[in-house]
Structure 1
Amino acid sequence: MEHASKRDTMAPSGTIPGNGGVNAPSAARVDWVDYAKGICIVMVVMMHSVLGVELAAGETGFMHVAVAFAKPFRMPDFFLISGLFLSLVIDRDWRTYLDRKVVHFAYFYVVWVTIQFGFKAPAFAAETSWREVGLLYLESFIEPFGTLWFIYLLPVFFVVTKLTRRVPPLAIWLIAAALETARIATGWTAIDEFCARFVYFYSGYLFAPYVFALSDRARSHPGPALAALATWALINAGLVAYGASEWKVVSLVLGFAGACAIITMGTLLARAQWLNFFRFCGEHSIVIYLAFFLPMAATRTLLLRTGVIPDIGTVSLIVTIAGVLGSLAIWQAALRLGADFLFERPDAFWIAPKKAGVRLQAAE
């Protein structure tokens, strides 16, 4: 089973399409991208919430089924979307590229790993010593800490893709697919997750025109799209229940199929303008990703210790909702209290000039 501290999170959204050939709105955010990201970030919070509650309680609840259903595609979709708009910026000079794609995420990793570690340090110290706690903190810059592995790994994907852009794309894709099916397990998160996820990120970059074409087709033909979604849901659920979703090659196929399903679902929701809460969550997916651990953990501890709600599934659902809404509340409170640095990179941490009026936030 996937650990609650790994294999789940966010991607930057954009405003225009990937490698050409298929057009998308250039003056506003791409609506279905935000819906798709919103669905996935909620599933990420749900995974951490449900598995955390079940681990602490020593039993499972009805929410476990939803977590298992989403496992094959939860992260593939995020990473695929992360690569969609890369072709627009990959040929920038290295200084600007590193500023936008490496320093940006490194800043938020340092800030939030320090915050997360601060909350957990007393418990670590009680089990070992403060010296060991200090070493653990330093180790978090080599071994990604807790839920933050995504923004640790994403800059690596950006750099590797730029470094290999002169290599035949098919060769890179085949190597990435082989790494996913090889099930590399070194014990080091960055290495293992790179091998497991790079194929999806690179596919987003390489096949962006086809992704936008899929979205356009779903928007134009909602009936067949809904039928395809229903078929996918049945197949995905069946393979998960049977245990086949973990098989080599099958997991790769399910990852791409699930990513296509979420893209289709996001497109249909955007077309109907339903469930705008998911769109809002998608627009602020990394804000949720960075901050959800605190309201999630606090709510879980409160509910399990008081026992006011005996059903573990219901507790898991409440903790999930608290994680999403609580993170957005923390973001708003930070902005109102002048703690913008938690979600917006200060000027001092830019290594390349900003364009006039540009403000890159964690959510971007």
Structure 2
Amino acid sequence: MSGHARIDWVDYAKGFCIVMVVMMHSTLGVEKAAGAESWLGHLVAFARPFRMPDFFLISGLFLARVIDRDWRTYADRKIIHFAYFYVLWLVIQFAFKAPGMAAEDGVGAALGQFLLAFIEPFGTLWFIYLLPIFFAVTKLLRGVPPWIVLVAAAALEIAPIHTGWTIPDEFASRFVYFYAGYLFAPQVFRLAAAVIAQPGLAILGLVAWAMINGYAVFAGVSEMPFIGLCLGILGACAVVAFSALLSKADLMAPLRYCGEHSIVIYLAFFLPMAATRVLLLRTGIIPDLGTVSLIVTAVGVVVPILLYWVVRDTRLRFLFERPAWARIDRVKTPKFAPAE
């Protein structure tokens, strides 16, 4: 472990997933703006079956430690906490996008989009919006036999639910992985321990998984009912195994650090990503779209960390640390609470 009782493989998994998320948005944004595909798009496609499932599974891993707390404390830590960062960064994102929206559709339409964002998540912030819903629903379902919840969640993932609204669609697609992380946390930790104990066998398993996942993706069957769920579960386990292998030697400490601050990256990557994309495509300094996407990804990951370092000891720390006034629990707490 590396400080503050953190579990290294968990941070590696979170770091891996947040880099994959930034890479997806960066690559798809570059390809859309350029009107052409890039070689990095193949890696983005390969990661699609497991990128978000693993993120949600990891998010549910430690829920058993806090789910029995009183509602006031639980809501403060797991609902209000994320709501604060959603509203704050919604305002920040909207401040950058509103002028263009107003110029194109009028001030009224822009204001309407802002108000709609409290129902329909804005831009890249849907994960922050959905996570507290998962926490609330899981606690509300405490009295229901876990197997019933798990089967229902799996059925939602398998069902072709496409309402056109982010929250119901993503809830149906992702809740099973969050709940599985909560329900099977002991088994997930045992898997990580087994990988660390037998790395050779784990590597063989990862190679086999990569072949199966790659075939399903590029054969066009990865999003079919049942297959998508199986690939999501297998992929989440593969990321756990891969992260456990990395933690054994701690060869990629920067990736672990990204995992420790994954929410910081998620909240702030949109602006450096968009600015770098526009700069590189307009100047044409780098003609290869895959390389452009890779640079945009790197900037999207690094700049939020640099911003965090700059503001963490200043009055602007509220960007990544929730202030005391935004709390509702009665427990005496520090003036600021980090986003993670």
**TM-score of the superposed pair, with normalisation by structure 2:** 0.98
* Shift, 1:357, TM fit: 5.1
* Shift, 1:333, TM fit: 2.2
Task: Report the residue type matching 1:168 in the other structure.
Answer: P
Percent of aligned positions that are identical:
60
* Separation in 1, partners of 2:61, 2:25: 26
* Shift, 1:353, TM fit: 2.8
Alignment of 1:178 onto 2:175: no
Give the aligned partner of residue 179 of structure 2.
202
Contact 2:86/2:129, CA 8 A, preserved across alignment: yes
* Shift, 1:359, TM fit: 4.9
* Separation in 2, partners of 1:102, 1:34: 22
List, as ranges, runs of 4+ consecutive aligned residues in structure 1 with deviation greater than 3 Å: 354-359
* Separation in 2, partners of 1:183, 1:49: 27
Give the aligned partner of residue 21 of structure 2.
44
Give the aligned partner of residue 154 of structure 1.
131
Give the aligned partner of residue 226 of structure 2.
249
* Separation in 1, partners of 2:34, 2:336: 43
* Separation in 2, partners of 1:27, 1:334: 21
Task: Summarize the Cα distance change of 1:237–1:129 in structure 2 as closer, same or farther, 3 Å threshold.
Answer: same
SS at match of 2:69: coil
Deviations 1:37-69 (A, max 9, x none): 000000000000000000000001110000000
* Shift, 1:246, TM fit: 1.1
* Shift, 1:338, TM fit: 2.4
* Separation in 2, partners of 1:183, 1:90: 30
Give the aligned partner of residue 120 of structure 1.
97
Task: Report the residue type matching 2:152 in the other structure.
Answer: I
Deviations 1:79-128 (A, max 9, x none): 00111110110010000000000000000000000000110001101111
Alignment of 1:1-364 (within 5 A): 28-355=5-332, 359-362=336-339, 364=340
* Shift, 1:330, TM fit: 1.7
* Separation in 2, partners of 1:332, 1:299: 20
SS at match of 2:37: coil
SS at match of 1:332: helix
* Separation in 1, partners of 2:3, 2:172: 33
* Separation in 2, partners of 1:356, 1:124: 40
* Separation in 1, partners of 2:175, 2:288: 38
Task: Summarize the Cα distance change of 1:309–1:338 in structure 2 as closer, same or farther, 3 Å threshold.
Answer: same
* Separation in 2, partners of 1:133, 1:217: 52
Structure 1 unpaired stretches of 5+: 1-14, 16-24
* Shift, 1:356, TM fit: 5.2
Contact 2:324/2:335, CA 8 A, preserved across alignment: no
Task: Report the residue type matching 1:60 in the other structure.
Answer: E
Structure 2 unpaired stretches of 5+: none
Task: Report the residue type matching 1:79 in the other structure.
Answer: F
* Separation in 1, partners of 2:155, 2:337: 35
Give the CA RMSD over aligned residues: 1.4
Task: Report the residue type matching 1:228 in the other structure.
Answer: G
SS at match of 1:360: strand
* Shift, 1:72, TM fit: 0.1
* Separation in 2, partners of 1:173, 1:243: 27
**TM-score of the superposed pair, with normalisation by structure 1:** 0.91
* Shift, 1:199, TM fit: 0.1
How many residues are aligned here? 340
* Shift, 1:337, TM fit: 4.3
